[in-house]
Amino acid sequence: MKKIFALIAAVLPALAMASTEGVHLDKHLTDLTDKASLQRGAKTFMNYCMGCHSLEHARFNRMAKDLDIPEALMMENLVFDTDKKFGDLATIGMQVEDSKKWFGATPPDLTLVARVRRPDWVYTYLRSFYVDPSRPWGVNNVVFKDVGMPNVLAALQGNQHLGTAPVTVGYDTLTGQPITEEQEHTLYLAEEGQLSEAEFDNLVFDLVNFLTYSAEPIAVERQRLGWWVLLFLAIFFVPVYMLNKEFWRDVK
Ligand code: HEC
């Protein structure tokens, strides 16, 4: 009984934290083995994020090796800072004092963001900007209220508004047609961007896949090794068990 109480006490704070967030997060089905997706994510990151955010714990050469990008291609197409060398860390030149003045907050380093915030959060955050003329950049975010970041992907996504819009609540069992209901406080696309909704979701999916890779570049290797370790332990158990029996034979 005591154990059950201890368990509940241990889990409660986590539950409380989850409930205070109160925002539905879309699931990111991370796939770190999909190299093409990681490469596309790296491209989007370098083009749209690196002006403000560094990946200061990652080196270009390691990234290139893990993502199967040849050195020349990487340096020509993905590293825009001409002072950078292949073995350099992916830092940026923006000064903290400047960015504080411009955005009200310094754009944080994103190497570990997918571990700190989790992939679901980042995936939902990047797709949850909406037009809000009261904010300095004219946008706000459902997941990160009064965020200091402009919606840098707006040209691709289009402009979302927050208001009353039809939401799919289920599907008709006979016809398979979606059943919609007008709901308040819902994001909807008011002006289309260069990409369709599905294409944009895919772009952000790849980007978050890449950030999940950068947060733990060794993840795939660790999981692969894990099976060998388990196999080793399983085999090792046999001699250890026999040895144990041998040791205790005369004692008992
Ligand atoms: C024009 C500069 C700028 C660009 C470009 C930019 N961001 Fe930001 N970003 C910011 C600022 C400023 C903040 C801090 C917001 C705050 O704290 O209010 C931020 C915050 C974030 C956060 C939240 C971090 C946290 O844990 O608090 C994430 C995630 C993020 N940005 C991802 C991205 C991604 C991905 C891109 C590229 C698609 C990008 N940003 C492009 C300025 C930028």
Cα(21) to ligand 1 centroid in Å equals: 19
* CB of 213 closer than 6 angstroms to any ligand 1 atom: no
Q: Give the pLDDT score at 80.
A: 95
Q: Give the pLDDT score at 250.
A: 87
Q: Give the pLDDT score at 16.
A: 47
Dist. CA 23–CA 95, nearest whole Å = 33
Best mutation site among 21, 45, 53 for ligand 1, i.e. most ligand atoms within 8 A of its Cβ? Answer: 53
Q: Give the pLDDT score at 18.
A: 47
* CB of 153 closer than 6 angstroms to any ligand 1 atom: yes
Q: Give the pLDDT score at 218.
A: 96
- Specify whether the CB–CB gap between 162 and 185 falls below 8 A: yes
Backbone angles phi, psi at 143, to 5 degrees: -85, -30
Cα(42) to ligand 1 centroid in Å equals: 16
Best mutation site among 25, 46, 52 for ligand 1, i.e. most ligand atoms within 8 A of its Cβ? Answer: 52
Per-residue pLDDT of the chain (252 residues; tens, 9 = 90+): 566 666 566 655 555 444 436 789 999 999 999 999 999 999 999 999 999 999 999 999 999 999 999 999 999 999 999 999 999 999 999 999 999 999 999 999 999 999 999 999 999 999 999 999 999 999 999 999 999 999 999 999 999 999 999 988 999 999 999 999 999 999 999 999 999 999 999 999 999 999 999 999 999 999 999 999 999 999 999 999 999 999 999 886
**What are 155-203's pLDDT values in tens digits?**
999 999 999 999 889 999 999 999 999 999 999 999 999 999 999 999 9
Dist. CA 98–CA 92, nearest whole Å = 13
Dist. CA 206–CA 38, nearest whole Å = 6
Long-range CB pairs of 95-100 (<8 Å, 24+ gap) are 99/52
Q: Give the pLDDT score at 104.
A: 93
Distance of CA 132 to the CA centre of its chain: 25
Q: Give the pLDDT score at 8.
A: 62
Q: Give the pLDDT score at 20.
A: 39
Q: Encode burial over 130-169: b for 16+ CB neighbours within 10 A, e otherwise.
A: bbeeeeebebbbbbbeebbbbbbbbebbbbbebeebeeee
What residue has token string 């979302």? Answer: 160
Q: Is 68 exposed, middle or buried (0-12, 13-18, 19+ CB in 10 A)?
A: exposed
* CB of 122 closer than 6 angstroms to any ligand 1 atom: yes
| Cβ neighbours of 250 (radius 10 Å) | 6
Dist. CA 195–CA 192, nearest whole Å = 8
- Specify whether the CB–CB gap between 186 and 142 falls below 8 A: no
